[in-house]
Amino acid sequence: FEILDLLITLTQQMVDGALLQLERIGKIDISEADSMELIDRKTASLFAACTRLGAISAGVTEEQQSILGEFGWNLGMAFQLVDDILDFTSREAVLGKPVGNDLREGKVTLPLIYALEDASPADRARIQTVLTDGNYERVHFEEILAILDRHQGIERARARAQEFTAKARAILAGFPDCPARTALFAATDLVADRDR
């Protein structure tokens, strides 16, 4: 029942995360803590459960399962933050979906949260316009990118993602060198350096 319990808990966390995200659609005053809570419930909990499932299947100790779950959680946090960054910095041809889509859908992610901390009332109004309109017709995507650049939203979010990646790598460093550890280290590189 261990695996079933884990999957039930994961499902509940992800449903809670989806409901939380729906409550926050279109709201500009989202805090970093709000963003982290959402990432925890939607993405990080999934990564943590997946790494725990792998650990359970491998027959490792409960302590190792917990540690690997913590690794997965940190990797999931980093993964989602990089995804939020790519929504602003990538290209549609690379990403496979339109860039700037999160804001268009009413989602204020960490790069914008950081930019909004220091944004002028005019910049806040531009962001609110996109949230309200659901498009970039009155405020162009390039204007949003300029706001992010002015207030270092991307750089600060990238630094936060790197913190989570570093924590994941530090957790792995506590395990003996083996092919599985090497593969997990490679996963941290894929998350940190991905462009899609």
What pLDDT score was predicted for residue 64? 96
Helices (DSSP H) in the chain: which residue ranges? 2-24, 32-39, 45-58, 62-89, 92-95, 101-104, 110-118, 121-133, 141-150, 153-173, 179-193
* DSSP 8-state assignment for residue 61: -
When the candidates are 1.20.1730.10, 2.40.50.60, 1.10.600.10, 3.40.50.720, the CATH number that belongs to 2-193 is: 1.10.600.10
- Structural domain boundaries in the chain: 2-193
pLDDT in single tens digits along all 196 residues of the chain: 899 999 999 999 999 999 999 999 999 999 999 999 999 999 999 999 999 999 999 999 999 999 999 999 999 999 999 999 999 998 888 878 889 999 999 999 999 999 999 999 999 999 999 999 999 999 999 999 999 999 999 999 999 999 999 999 999 999 999 999 999 999 999 998 887 7
Which pTM was predicted?
Answer: 0.94
What pLDDT score was predicted for residue 50? 97
What pLDDT score was predicted for residue 121? 98
Query: What distance in Å separates the CA atoms of residue 13 and residue 20, rounded to the nearest whole number?
Result: 10
What pLDDT score was predicted for residue 100? 94
Q: Which CA distances in Å does 101 have to 84, 129, 134, 136, 152?
A: 10, 14, 9, 10, 20
What pLDDT score was predicted for residue 5? 95
